[in-house]
Structure 1
């Protein structure tokens, strides 16, 4: 449903976030306490410190644990510690520290190194690669972390999918999630999707009973879910990162959302939603002020998201001119608002 609304990073509306939430995500103390890069590079910081003070907090925040569907196996041994190529057995020389699993199936190999060892060293990469492709493991991707750097590789390429320094772990946490979240390892195509705003604020601990006020939201793609329910999806910026956000609302609220449109456009837009394909694109020409709350987790074939439930519409405005142009990739059979009005020479 949201497939053709994702990826339009240029079409964003600023959704406000509270300063405590922003501070929580941006503070390096959130995951690593007072750990600094200088301390990591000190002679006293060994491989066991990398495992306990850097890798473990990362895996915990990603949702991996010793119990549950997204699990971690420490130092998984092989029954047959070699790889047969032709008639020759090639020994597997390492046992990576972490095998990330989903329902007991390995999905990623992560090996810890001491800060003095380079995560891009071909020798270390070859060892981790040989373990990842082993018939008893067979993961598509693997990684190495020495505390000061994290590198992630596909078994199909020598170019890293991700290579970050410790100083960027918090600032670019979205990239670590994109690489290592269980869903993204199971379905790499999900990495092409923007992160979901509802999922993000739910993970911050916002109670479902809390009211979330969002002024000045530019709406994009509407769809009729059934006779009583509609949804609308759009892009937003949250903590300076592009996200997707979905809103669910009852049919009787559609009139309030469209109230700011000129009467003819309002009637055409409503009519488009009542007939096949039951979709219409506002293209950010509709701006609304909303009171919302968190909805239920939605699990689709290719993504998971948490919609916001619209409880009240306090304002609706028509925006004839939008910055950055119109959304691309909208199927031609879908009603597009911008094709049904003209801008006057003076821009009004």
Structure 2
């Protein structure tokens, strides 16, 4: 069985070494990561190539006028027939690989225009976490001691024959989630010019929402903008007055929705990344909160 083959690869490893303060990132790479990636089918040669510590020509991502520097060069970039496929970064056993800055940094590298891979992973010797760029939580997270149990599922995603298969995990791209994972939730003001408005929905008596699409560094994203009554009133003169009047009507039992038929209105938005994740039957998304409408 394949799980037995992988188990034999790590069978001679003494996991007590992970508690040794001298067992650091370089040891994790050599003793844990290298056997895994070779067993997956990658090597130093094409067509399924391991590329170590590739620098970026332009080590930052841009959102409007704001730039975020990428502070990571992952240990491994894997290519299939000269196409970037996924990345892996090794950490020491003392470092967290979930809900930490390391996840944010690996994500920023994975989505960079010079890389653009759907999957990124982190391993600290004790644990392995595999992420998809459109999911908040790991799609796989397990103890290395249980590697043989997860090996079949891991290979279905990361093997050279499967990794570029888009049917692996087809998800909509959400801009709010994208910005949060890049660390742009640290900014109180993000400017989006000429946002197309085709509809407005009511969330409750004091909150409203609209959604749109945008392109950033060659990738398309869906984006939701939430806003309160103060911002709604700032739309006077920018969208039809009858639409605003209808949305201002108070009826706690009715959630109103306005569509502008074949007309598109463009507005300039000053916003920030929201704090509350929303979820429907298909996806998790993070709305942006509008601070103000810019004249």
TM-score, normalising length: structure 2: 0.54
Cα deviation code 1:260-285 (max 9, x no counterpart):
xxxxxxxxxxxxxxxxxxxxxxxxxx
Aligned pairs (5 A) from 1:274-289: none
The answer to whether the 8 Å contact 1:149/1:165 transfers is yes
**Pairing 1:64–2:64 present:** no
Give me the CA root mean square deviation. Answer: 2.0
What is the aligned partner in structure 1 of residue 124 from structure 2? 146
CA 1:128 to 1:38, structure 2 compared with 1: closer, same or farther past 3 Å?
A: same
User: What is the CA–CA distance in structure 2 between the aligned matches of 1:50 and 1:115, rounded to whole Å?
Assistant: 8
- How far apart, in 2, do the equivalents of 1:66 and 1:27 lie? 21
The residue that corresponds to 2:222 in the other structure is none
Larger radius of gyration: 1
Gaps of 5+ in 1: 1-21, 193-348
SS in structure 1 opposite 2:153?
helix
Change in 2 beyond 3 A, CA 1:35/1:140: same
Q: Which residue pairs with 2:98 in the alignment?
A: 120
* SS state at 1:184 partner: coil
Aligned counterparts, 1:1-348, within 5 A: 25-26=3-4, 30-189=8-167
> What is the deviation of 1:38?
2.1
Q: Where does structure 1 differ by over 3 angstroms across 4 or more consecutive aligned residues?
A: none
SS at match of 2:163: helix
TM-score (norm 1): 0.46
| Residue 184 (structure 1) shift | 2.1
* Mapped partners of 1:136, 1:25: distance in 2: 34
User: CA deviation digits over 1:282-301, x for unaligned, max 9?
Assistant: xxxxxxxxxxxxxxxxxxxx
CA distance in structure 2 between the aligned counterparts of 1:107 and 1:134, rounded to whole angstroms: 13
Instruction: State the 1:48 CA deviation.
Output: 0.4
1:170 Cα offset (Å): 1.8
Distance 1:79 1:191 in 2: 29
Return the offset for 1:128: 0.3
* C-alpha deviation, 1:190, in angstroms: 5.4
2:280 alignment counterpart: none
- SS state at 1:142 partner: strand
The gaps in structure 2 that reach 5 residues or longer are: 171-295
Measured after TM superposition, the shift of residue 112 of structure 1 is 0.6
Q: Distance in 1 between matches of 2:88 and 2:110?
A: 9
Deviation at 1:143, TM superposition (A): 0.6
Partner of 1:170, secondary structure, is helix
Task: Report the equivalent of 2:256.
Answer: none
Number of aligned residue pairs: give it: 170
Counterparts of 1:43 and 1:81, CA distance in 2: 32
